[in-house]
Amino acid sequence: MDSSVTPPAPPERPDPPAHNLATAHSRQLPGVVIIGAQRGGTTSLYRYLTDHPNIGPSLRKEVHFFDRYYEKGPEWYLAHFPLRGEWPLVVEASPSYLFAPAVPRRIHTALPGARYIAMLRNPVDRAYSQYQLMVRRGIESLPFAEALAAEQVRLPGPDNPMTLPWRHFSYTKRGLYAEQLQRWLAVVPRERLFVIRSEDFYADPAAILERTLDWLGLPSVIPDSLKPYHLAEYPDLDAATRRRLAGYFAPHNQMLYGLIGRDLEWE
């Protein structure tokens, strides 16, 4: 694929069922939202949380109302959730919310009491995982190093993470977590934002799930088996590209550590 070629458009998201739309104002807004990061373990955490007896799911995991479908209006969003009274807590997970600049203020206005979970993966590994996903989907054909070099050319300015090039080719941009979290913390109190290091989640999902439930004030109900979702096998990233990316992300990571008051120990 030429670096300037626009990727194919994905199919349009279907509307919720007519019954859900008709009963939208009787439905329960989410009290917790997993905001990202993409390729950071959000699907697994969402599935584990919605297995809890006190947590209800959205109609689909990724509603994407506050970034892609905002013009559809609040009734469309409400129609994705259970009726009020069915669950003590409802969760949504749209992993590009972290990345999209307009989302924090939109979501804080609509869900002023909500809490938010950000799953942050080493941005080097996150970028390579996104690249491999685009390869599997037939969207990316450049070698990884060339795709990184083409990123600035492919992404039209100003920043618009909801255009297709930004959604598909933002390998390094999505890993600049500090600037993304700064937008969130400008409108959301720090105590309502729970940061999970994705590597800790991968290593011991039960422990991280228990910590998350404790933060949500829910009883610790941990399944005997926590199956990981969206696992994929692909070649290791070559050492030279890893070093180059690590050097690029290093100052941004240091800003992140200062922002959240924690060293995530990424290279």
Query: Residue 54 falls within a domain, yes or no?
Result: yes
Euclidean distance between the first and final Cα of the chain, in Å? Answer: 31
> In b/e form, how buried is each residue of 113-139, taking b as 16+ CB within 10 angstroms?
ebbbbbbbbbbbbbbbbbbbbbbeeeb
- Asked if residue 9 is part of any domain, the answer here is no
Query: Residue 233: inside a domain, yes or no?
Result: yes
CATH number at residue 104: 3.40.50.300
* CB 101 within 8 Å of CB 183: yes
Residue 127 lies in a domain: no
Length of the chain: 267
Residue 224's pLDDT is what? 85
Residue 10 lies in a domain: no
- What is the per-residue pLDDT for 106? 97
CA angle 15, 118, 90 (to 5 degrees): 45
**Full residue range of the structural domain in which residue 107 is found:** 18-122+175-260
Residue 4 placed within a domain: no
Q: What pLDDT score was predicted for residue 159?
A: 64
pLDDT value of position 1: 41
Blockwise average pLDDT, block size 10, the chain, 267 residues: 49 84 98 98 96 96 94 97 98 96 96 98 98 96 97 81 86 97 97 98 97 98 86 92 98 98 95
Q: How far apart are CA 160 and CA 25, in angstroms?
A: 31
Count of structural domains within the chain? 1
Residue 161 placed within a domain: no
Any domain includes 218: yes
Q: Residue 225: what pLDDT?
A: 85
